[in-house]
């Protein structure tokens, strides 16, 4: 098999304006996407100089929604660029197979693309050719490709043909007219991508010249866009660059939390998780649980530790708690926690009173099994422990084999005794605990990202949209103790 720049080429992935893209591997076996420039481009001194500067800027681009540049040759006879290989279908392939996206999926896609553009623009780059074919629907979220070479290719095409670089139907008016291009052109393309993902076409069908004419002179067709997103998509497709939102503003608009439903979807303790009153001096079993305070900073790395944590977290519970024995998996309290004394019941309990089952010559025994705490942690009047680096105070080892399942409309995370499973749009990545070096969870706004780092250095991430602060809080309260359980074994 052929080697290019020390990379072993396995197969051809595709071809574009720059040249050919191959799947290749490093000497250690790591996959990369190797983009090799066409010979006629590599022979052009103007292209070579622009390619060099663009690659240097692209090396600084990071974030969850791009494919980072890992290597390049800007001086050799053959010019090439290697990026991290991101498996998965393109957005164009996904839409052809599954059809149009609904509103939650469109919001998630738009937010991911806006976040990618923020990373690209912050390094002084403009993509210039954002379209469904340049977006990979990876297991951990959409990834934007080819952000490091677009301007170099554009420079050559303008010199050679005098025509605009990009894809008609996604070109901003200033691109179609050959004017200077800024990051606002990428926002315009993002708006056109969202229309396509909704099942429509912002500028209809026809010849490339016809599409470019309509993008400059006519309003977009937004009939396929859900009503709640029409305004934000229309703002992206404004004719004047100054009238379009920045990627940061667009990210805010696409992730605005929806009003909490008044129906059964709202848990009875949601208000407590957001704004809990101070604990009563003498709580009763019916007292709602205090909310676990979200720790600061808003990022934490969970990795194997030599010792088991010693204090218990505050765990949310339903608004009404039965006086029956504590639930399974409730860890014992620290030694300083006084035993819980339930108040006298004036009404007949749903089960026989304890004293009726205790022979008179024996002292009354606690009804709580020996492995469980007599004091439900969520009813304890003790002050909560200070936040630890990995969550709501160091949780103790839960009893049994706990698991947690977190999911939104498009993605999911499962943590269990067998390992961690990440899922996005039906595509899954499953890892056993023997493969996992550590797990990181991070949140921005109401979005929670769970990242799995393997011992071989591979990193996988999955982003979930909680949409409400209360739901995010509940997710963290479930996730942290279970991760600590398996990462401190």
Ligand-binding annotation for 35, yes or no, is: yes
Burial 172-210 (b: 16+ CB within 10 A, else e): bbbbbeeeebebbbbbbbbbbbbbbbbebbbbeeeeeee
Q: Pick left, alpha or beta for residue 199 (phi over 0 → left; psi -120 to 50 → alpha; otherwise beta).
A: left
Report yes or no: 153 and 81 within 8 Å, Cβ to Cβ.
no
- DSSP secondary structure code for residue 90 in this structure: B
Cα 134 to Cα 153: distance, rounded to the nearest angstrom? 15
Report yes or no: 373 and 333 within 8 Å, Cβ to Cβ.
yes
Cα 380 to Cα 289: distance, rounded to the nearest angstrom? 9
Which two structure tokens, joined as six digits, stand for 355?
């004293």
Is 129 catalytic? The answer is yes
Q: What are phi and psi of 452, to 5 degrees?
A: -110, 125
Report yes or no: 442 and 462 within 8 Å, Cβ to Cβ.
no
Report yes or no: 413 and 488 within 8 Å, Cβ to Cβ.
no
- Residue 401: count other Cβ atoms within 10 Å of its Cβ: 12
Cα 310 to Cα 366: distance, rounded to the nearest angstrom? 24
Cα 204 to Cα 207: distance, rounded to the nearest angstrom? 10
Q: Which residues contact 181 (CB under 8 A, 6 or more apart)?
A: 126, 128, 172, 174, 175
Q: What are phi and psi of 408, to 5 degrees?
A: -120, -160
CA 319 to chain centre: 31
Q: Could you say which of 129, 146, 408, 480 is catalytic?
A: 129
Give binding residues for ATP as ranges.
Answer: 35
Give binding residues as ranges.
Answer: 35
Please identify every residue annotated as catalytic.
129
């Amino acid at each position: 098999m052929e080697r290019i720049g020390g990379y072993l080429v396995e197969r051809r992935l595709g071809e574009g304006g720059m040249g050919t893209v191959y799947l290749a591997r490093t000497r250690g076996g790591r996959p990369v996407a190797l983009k090799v420039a066409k010979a006629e481009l590599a022979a052009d001194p103007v292209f070579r100089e622009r390619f060099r500067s663009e690659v240097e800027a692209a090396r600084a681009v990071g974030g969850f929604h791009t494919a980072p540049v890992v290597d390049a040759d800007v001086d050799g006879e053959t010019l090439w660029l290697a990026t991290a290989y991101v498996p998965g279908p393109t957005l164009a392939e996904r839409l052809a197979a599954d059809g149009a996206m609904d509103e939650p999926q469109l919001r998630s896609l738009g937010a991911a693309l806006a976040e990618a553009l923020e990373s690209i623009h912050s390094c002084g780059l403009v993509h210039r050719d954002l379209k469904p074919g340049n977006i990979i629907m990876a297991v951990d979220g959409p990834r934007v490709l080819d952000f490091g070479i677009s301007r170099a290719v554009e420079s050559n095409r303008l010199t050679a043909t005098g025509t605009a670089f990009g894809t008609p139907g996604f070109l901003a008016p200033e691109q179609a007219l050959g004017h200077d291009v800024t990051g606002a052109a990428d926002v315009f393309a993002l708006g056109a991508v969202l229309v396509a993902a909704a099942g429509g076409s912002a500028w209809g069908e026809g010849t490339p010249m016809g599409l470019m004419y309509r993008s400059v002179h006519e309003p977009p067709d937004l009939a396929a866009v859900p009503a709640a997103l029409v305004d934000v998509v229309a703002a992206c497709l404004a004719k004047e660059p100054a009238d379009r939102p920045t990627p940061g503003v667009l990210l805010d608009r696409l992730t605005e939390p929806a009003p909490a439903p008044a129906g059964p979807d709202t848990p009875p303790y949601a208000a407590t998780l957001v704004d809990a009153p101070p604990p009563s001096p003498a709580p009763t079993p019916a007292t709602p649980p205090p909310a676990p305070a979200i720790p600061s900073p808003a990022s934490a790395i969970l990795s194997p530790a030599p010792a088991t944590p010693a204090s218990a977290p505050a765990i949310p519970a339903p608004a009404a708690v039965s006086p029956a024995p504590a639930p399974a998996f409730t860890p014992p309290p620290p030694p300083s926690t006084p035993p819980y004394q339930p108040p006298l019941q004036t009404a007949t309990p749903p089960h026989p009173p304890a004293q009726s089952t205790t022979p008179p010559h024996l002292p009354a025994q606690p009804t709580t099994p020996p492995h469980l705490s007599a004091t439900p942690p969520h009813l304890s009047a003790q002050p909560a422990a200070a936040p630890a680096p990995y969550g709501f105070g160091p949780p103790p080892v839960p009893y049994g084999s706990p698991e947690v399942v977190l999911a939104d409309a498009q993605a999911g995370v499962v943590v269990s005794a067998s390992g961690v499973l990440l899922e996005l749009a039906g595509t899954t990545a499953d890892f056993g605990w023997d493969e996992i070096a550590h797990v990181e969870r991070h949140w921005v706004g109401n979005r929670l990202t769970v990242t799995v780092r393997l011992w071989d250095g591979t990193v996988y991430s999955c982003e979930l949209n909680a949409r409400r602060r209360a739901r995010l809080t509940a997710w963290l309260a479930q996730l942290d103790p279970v991760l600590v359980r398996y990462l401190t074994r």
